[in-house]
Structure 1
Amino acid sequence: MMFGLFFSLKTFAAAMDPRTDTKSQLGAPLRIGESCTFRSFRTNNYKLHFLESPSGIKIVLNTDPNAGDLRDNLSYIYGLYVEYVMKNPLYTPGEPFKCELFLRNLFQFVKTIGL
């Protein structure tokens, strides 16, 4: 369900991109980093923050609807992922992972930003 939501929002943002004359067709697959992308959306109950890395990793945070811009925070979380998961020689890309150092640092970071 979440994949469909992100896919739809990405293609909609790309179709509405004011920087290009050529508009992508709604529903057409996009390359990572191609065209506009959405960063967050808000409802009455929550705000969803989204970051897609150049490697295709998607990071999502749900917060209070009044939360500000968390792009830097999402980038920091991606840096933790790269440092503790991707650089781990025991990690197999595409497989589920359990990395205590990553989780410990992630939880510690999230506590500092008050989410």
Structure 2
Amino acid sequence: MPTITLDDDLAGVFLDGYDDDLIGSVLQEINSGADVELICVWEYVDDCGYGGDSCLHIVKDGVPHQIAEALHLFLFEAPGDAARAGHGQPDSWYGPAAPEINLAATTACDGRGNYAVHARY
């Protein structure tokens, strides 16, 4: 995997929460630069977009994994603290497998990293 440095603008990007648009733009930026597949699995999608409980995962060989602590802190903590702590390199972003997430059973994917477990159309 390539060695990368994520843009400091991404430090703490999810501190105040996120929606499917922010997830899409941030994950596309990270995924293209790091050659990884970060995704966000949402509880549902409806006419207003993705919603409900959600969690970020990183996919390896088709299997979702939790994201490792360094990347999680980089994206979700206060920007100054996150940038100082660093994000690690892509090969260190893989936490334990998340077998409860079955991507084949998701009902929607927008091609920008957002997946939904249920559709409410």
TM-score, shorter chain, exceeding 0.5: no
More helix by proportion, 1 or 2? 1
- TM-score of the superposition, structure 2-length normalised? 0.27
More strand by proportion, 1 or 2? 2
